[in-house]
Amino acid sequence: MIIKNKSSDITWHRPIISREDRQQVNGHRSAILWFTGLSGAGKSTLAHAVEERLHRMGCSTYVLDGDNVRHGLCADLGFTSDNRTENIRRVGEVAKLMIDAGLFTLTAFISPFRSDREGVRGMVMPHEFIEIYCQCGVDVCEARDVKGLYKRARIGEIKNFTGISSPYEAPFKPELVVNTADQTIDACVDQVFTYLLDHDLVSSKR
């Protein structure tokens, strides 16, 4: 996951304003909330619902959504294993910049490979990466099939589809497991906020 610079003619410019300065202005620490799970598991829905609540509390936030990123930053990538790894590497680098900007950065990506997720974890401080596993079985995700993707994957129209023709590696020790199959969206949001409160990432006084 570590990419070496192709040029020796560049140097790191140390900024005047630090991450801590930006966090002080924002009134909260910054962190990556990394939502992972199968297509249809509710990652985007949950990420945006959590962001909405954080925003109402006055927190500085941004959601990096899997589909949206592939319209621009990662528009040149397909869905082979190598392309998926590069997709997550790029997202990780963007999320790292947003951490430096003092934001709560919420990412909604299948991110099927553990090594890719751990690669992003390694880009930031240990307490800044919060892996949230949206636990939902293939049968439930396929029954929802809000985008019609599973149906197309079953008949071979979509290749390398996670959960059907490409593997998903569930986290071994995520910071949080949210059962999006059985719980309501409000209950899932509450669970995320309980974690954030317990780890002093947000304050109940905001």
Domains of the chain, start order: 20-198 (3.40.50.300)
Supply the pLDDT for residue 7. Answer: 63
The residue-averaged pLDDT of 191-205 equals 89
Supply the pLDDT for residue 22. Answer: 84
Number of H helices, E strands in the chain: 8, 5
Per-residue pLDDT reduced to its tens digit, 102-126: 999 999 999 999 999 999 999 999 8
Supply the pLDDT for residue 14. Answer: 80
Catalytic one of 81, 111, 115, 204: 111
pTM: 0.91
Residues 6+ positions from 191 with CB-CB distance below 8 Å: 176, 178, 183
The verdict on whether 111 is a catalytic residue reads yes
Would you say the C-alpha torsion 26, 30, 34, 35 has a positive or negative sign? negative
Contact 130, 106 (CB under 8 A): no
Q: How far apart are CA 37 and CA 205, in angstroms?
A: 32
3-class SS of residue 46? helix
